[in-house]
């Protein structure tokens, strides 16, 4: 039996209208106004759809462009090799140049590169918040696992409810600058701005309600000048000992398999007792689906070779992670005392 063309047109129009109505109904059930509503979204495309958050929208004129426009002409230069006139003695304690993590300037504290507790992994992720991280955070929640998240200020501005979830779930939040530059290529005032707008003037404070006291230099690029600026802002410098290279995949020199090999090599070191006396910190990222998926895939193996996976602040017994005194982290002993299951961050006053 054949139907006239007009019937098909009307039927198609009806189906399209039904799809639009169903989509509108689904959209109406999605709450993009609260952390709880945002955390309940399971479709990554919906998670990453931009939304308006009035506290940020109303204040964005007080914040710089993304990326921050530096007055330094070589702002985006990657400092992978030493300047021709730079001394081999590394007078500036430049990590990228010489992997120096003990400052040479007086009164600057050393960088944190390892978890001091034995058989302990300082567990954390750079470059968040990622808009599609709900499945990853759900996984961490299902394992009762807390971590340290190093948030980029402009990412917090773009996806503020995702940033709020980190605190709600009991994770530790550190700063990762405003726009993720090579900090040693910045003039001092621009380097100051990268930290100031992220922490103190105050995207993380504006959105999440807390002021971090820790930061991680993008690419590990820091020297004593940058350390002094961070220290003046009350920020402890957190580095790492091992790198998965999960954020560096280019399909050529670094592939997905490279990351798998790096994870496996690290796990073998742990199995061999390399961290039995003093723990360590591994560089991993919340950057994209691949980096988060690899973290989930290798989590059971990391749990099997380390006695403890804890936020970096917990490994340091740093119970006051923010300037605000109404939040606290558990001590290391508190974290591991009840079936290795830590309490969530709770207000103390």
**Gap between the Cα atoms of 98 and 82, Å rounded:** 9
Tell me which of 133, 176, 180, 285 is the catalytic residue: 285
For the question of residue 285 being annotated catalytic, the response is: yes
Tell me which of 92, 111, 126, 169 is the catalytic residue: 126
Token pair for residue 148? Answer: 């340290």
Region of residue 81 (left: phi > 0; alpha: psi -120 to 50; beta: else): beta
Helix (H), strand (E), coil (C) string for 277-333: CCCEEEECECCCHHHHHHHHHHHHHHHHHCCEEECHHHHCCCCCCECCCCEECCCHH
Contact, 310 vs 330, CB < 8 A? Answer: no
For the question of residue 126 being annotated catalytic, the response is: yes
Strands lying side by side in the sheet with 172-175: 124-128, 148-151, 172-175, 214-215, 236-237
Nearest to 44 by CA among 126, 130, 148, 164: 130
Q: Where are the beta strands (DSSP E) in 179-227?
A: 214-215
How many CB atoms within 10 Å of residue 261?
Answer: 13
Contact, 310 vs 332, CB < 8 A? Answer: yes
Side-chain half-sphere CA neighbours of 93 within 13 A: 17
Catalytic residue set: 126, 285
């Amino acid at each position: 039996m054949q139907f006239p063309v007009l019937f098909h047109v009307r039927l198609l129009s009806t189906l399209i209208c039904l799809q639009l109505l169903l989509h509108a109904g689904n959209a109406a059930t999605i709450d993009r106004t609260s952390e709880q509503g945002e955390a309940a979204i399971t479709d990554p495309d919906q998670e990453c759809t931009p939304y308006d958050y009035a506290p940020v929208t109303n204040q964005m004129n007080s914040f710089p462009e993304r990326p921050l426009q530096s007055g330094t002409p070589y702002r985006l230069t990657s400092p992978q090799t030493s300047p021709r006139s730079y001394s081999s003695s590394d007078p500036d304690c430049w990590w990228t140049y010489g992997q120096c993590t003990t400052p040479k300037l007086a009164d600057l504290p050393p960088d944190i590169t390892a978890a001091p507790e034995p058989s302990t992994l300082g567990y954390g992720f750079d470059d968040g918040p990622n808009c599609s991280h709900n499945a990853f955070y759900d996984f961490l929640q299902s394992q009762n696992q807390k971590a340290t998240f190093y948030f980029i200020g402009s990412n917090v501005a773009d996806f503020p409810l995702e940033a709020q979830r980190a605190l709600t779930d009991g994770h530790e939040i550190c700063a990762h600058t405003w726009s993720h530059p090579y900090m040693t290529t910045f003039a001092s005032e621009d380097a100051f701005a990268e930290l100031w707008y992220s922490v103190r003037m105050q995207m993380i404070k504006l959105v999440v309600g807390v002021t971090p006291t820790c930061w991680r230099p993008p690419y590990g690029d820091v020297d004593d000048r940058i350390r002094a600026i961070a220290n003046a802002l009350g920020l402890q410098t957190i580095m790492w000992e091992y790198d998965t290279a999960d954020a560096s995949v280019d399909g050529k020199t670094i592939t997905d398999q490279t990351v798998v090999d790096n994870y496996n090599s690290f796990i073998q070191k742990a199995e061999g007792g390399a961290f039995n006396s003093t723990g360590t910190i591994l560089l991993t990222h919340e950057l994209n689906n691949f980096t988060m998926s690899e973290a989930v895939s290798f989590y059971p193996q990391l749990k099997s070779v380390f006695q403890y996976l804890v936020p970096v602040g917990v490994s340091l017994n740093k119970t006051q992670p923010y300037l605000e005194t109404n939040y606290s982290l558990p001590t290391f002993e508190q974290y591991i005392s009840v079936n290795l299951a830590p309490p969530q961050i709770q207000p103390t006053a």
